[in-house]
């Protein structure tokens, strides 16, 4: 069997979509195991850009694409995305959805907007797409699942109960108008009709593929530092985008995972609120953002940019048990002069080589940097590792040494062809 997992090692936006697309050429299945349409994966094929939200990034090449039990699905977004890429010539008849995946409802989106607007509440910087409230209902055992859309009587009962509770909150606490049951029921009844042929029990399908030695590629959204358990809580997502999240999010044994592939940008970015130890503010940070095109694939929000944080990198490597790292966007560093990598944190006079749980302490953290010489050459058309500038290779090799994990692939541009394979994954 060959179970490959691709995860982000920073705060997302590392280029997982591109790497999954490349690997999916030889994959029999690509399985998305968590997150929702708050994730934006960009795939560039022959200069043509595809921005995917719910669909697995392997949809353009892989055999079967699975939206797993750990994903939360907005049916409207799913259908819009299917329609959008079909109009561009892509096929989607190989996309299936787990009957255990939870459904994002209009009241989840409304609650998300409210929580981000309440004055005294910590602003997380969510995309306001209902992901967090949907996961909250899942954990409190009030969620509606895809299986419920196949039984309209059961769906009606659950919707009526949930909407009664949510409308109490909307009207009595926030002074808003109640949501209309009939309107929502009819809308989702229509969605159910359009997607019912895709809703199946994906667990035996995925496990059978692994048992038959098919290549199954598991795709996470977001990244390590947005993990609900190990990220910069509370500035995190509501699921586990780590390698460990695969077992619960896809329904497989950890013994069926052969490779953990971490995608790491050659510098660091994050979107939204929360601590960012190596952030570069001002003109130089803006310059990196401009060169790297660092704007959210779904929201268009500008990403905060900073030097490569290898305290975060080591943390991600260890927790995920990575076997390989793919370094992306190293071409962005060309011509920037001296480069810095963060190797440790100084907090209140003490040196830390691990990410602390206390998010507040990160606000007063001093990054300890190691400085390396940069390079000026354009590397976007280079195909072989030995042809990279000497200082570029020194940068990659120093990062690899600190992480204790091989960097197997280096991406030197956005297209699926712009990769240098140092060792086979």
The reported pLDDT for the residue numbered 64 is: 93
How confident is the model over 58-92, as pLDDT tens digits? Answer: 787 768 999 999 999 999 999 999 999 898 888 89
Which residues fall within 8 angstroms of residue 421, CB to CB, at 6 or more apart?
408, 409
**Per the annotation, does 394 bind a ligand?**
no
Average pLDDT, the chain: 92
φ, ψ for residue 7, nearest 5 deg: -130, 155
pLDDT at res. 159: 98
Which residues fall within 8 angstroms of residue 191, CB to CB, at 6 or more apart? Answer: 75, 76, 79, 149
Residue 126 is labelled as binding a ligand: no
Domains and CATH numbers, the chain: 3-98+199-259 (3.40.440.10), 102-195 (1.10.300.10), 264-421 (3.90.170.10)
**Considering the entire predicted model, what is its pTM?**
0.91
Residue 51 pLDDT grade (very low, low, confident, very high; cuts 50, 70, 90):
confident
Q: In 330-418, where does DSSP find H-type helix? A: 359-362, 390-403
Does the annotation flag 331 for ligand binding? yes
pLDDT of residue 317 exceeding 90, the answer is yes
Length of the chain in residues, anyone?
425
**Mean pLDDT, residues 53-59:** 83
More confident residue, 265 or 2: 265
Residue 52 has pLDDT above 60, yes or no: yes
Which residues does the annotation mark as catalytic? 13, 41, 138
pLDDT tens digit string along 162-195?
999 999 999 999 999 999 999 999 999 999 999 9
Helical residues (DSSP H) of 16-140, grouped into ranges: 16-23, 75-87, 106-117, 131-139
| Mean pLDDT to the nearest integer, 299-306 | 88
**Is 412 flagged in the annotation as binding?**
yes
> At how many degrees (to 10) do helices 106-117 and 131-139 cross?
110
317 annotated ligand-binding residue: no
Tokens of 406: 């091989």
301 a known binding residue? Answer: yes
Q: What is the mean pLDDT of residues 19-24?
A: 84
**C-beta separation of 409 from 393 below 8 A:** no
The pLDDT, as a whole number, for residue 273 is 86
Arithmetic mean of pLDDT, 291-314: 90
Residue 118 clears pLDDT 90, i.e. is over it: no
């Amino acid at each position: 069997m060959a179970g490959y997992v691709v995860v982000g090692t920073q705060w997302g936006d590392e280029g997982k979509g591109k790497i999954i697309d490349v690997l999916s050429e030889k994959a029999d299945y690509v399985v998305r195991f968590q997150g929702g349409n708050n994730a934006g994966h960009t795939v560039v094929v022959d200069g043509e850009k595809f921005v995917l939200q719910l669909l697995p990034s392997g949809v353009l090449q892989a055999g079967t694409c699975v939206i797993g039990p750990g994903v939360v699905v907005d049916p409207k977004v799913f259908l819009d995305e299917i329609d959008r890429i079909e109009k561009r010539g892509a096929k989607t008849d190989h996309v299936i959805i787990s009957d255990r995946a939870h459904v994002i409802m209009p009241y989840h989106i409304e609650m998300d907007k409210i929580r981000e607007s309440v004055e005294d509440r910590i602003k997380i910087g969510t995309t306001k797409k209902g992901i967090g409230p949907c996961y909250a209902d899942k954990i409190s055992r009030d969620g509606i699942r895809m299986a419920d859309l196949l039984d309209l009587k059961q769906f009606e009962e659950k919707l009526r109960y949930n909407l009664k509770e949510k409308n109490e909150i909307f009207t009595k606490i926030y002074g808003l108008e109640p949501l209309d049951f009939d309107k929502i029921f009819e809308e989702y009844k229509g969605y159910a009709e359009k997607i019912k042929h895709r809703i199946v029990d994906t667990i035996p399908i995925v496990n059978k593929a692994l048992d038959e030695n098919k290549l199954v590629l598991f795709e996470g959204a977001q990244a390590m530092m947005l993990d609900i358990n190990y990220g910069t809580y509370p500035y995190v997502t509501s699921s586990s985008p780590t390698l460990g999240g695969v077992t619960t999010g896809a329904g497989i044994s950890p013994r069926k995972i052969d490779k953990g592939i971490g995608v790491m940008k050659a510098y660091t970015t994050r979107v939204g609120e929360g601590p960012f130890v190596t952030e570069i503010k001002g003109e130089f940070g803006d310059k990196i953002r401009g060169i790297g095109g660092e704007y959210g694939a779904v929201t268009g929000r500008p990403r905060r940019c900073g030097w490569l944080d290898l305290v975060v990198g080591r943390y991600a490597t260890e927790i995920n048990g990575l076997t390989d790292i793919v370094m992306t966007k190293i071409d962005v560093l060309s011509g920037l002069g001296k480069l810095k990598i963060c190797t440790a944190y100084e907090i209140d006079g003490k040196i830390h080589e691990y990410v602390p749980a206390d998010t507040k302490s990160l606000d007063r953290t001093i990054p300890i940097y190691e400085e390396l010489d940069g390079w000026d050459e354009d590397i976007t058309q280079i195909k072989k590792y030995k042809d990279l500038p000497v200082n570029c290779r020194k940068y990659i090799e120093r990062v690899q040494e600190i992480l204790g994990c091989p960097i197997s692939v280096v991406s030197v541009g956005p297209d699926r062809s712009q990769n240098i394979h140092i060792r086979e994954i």
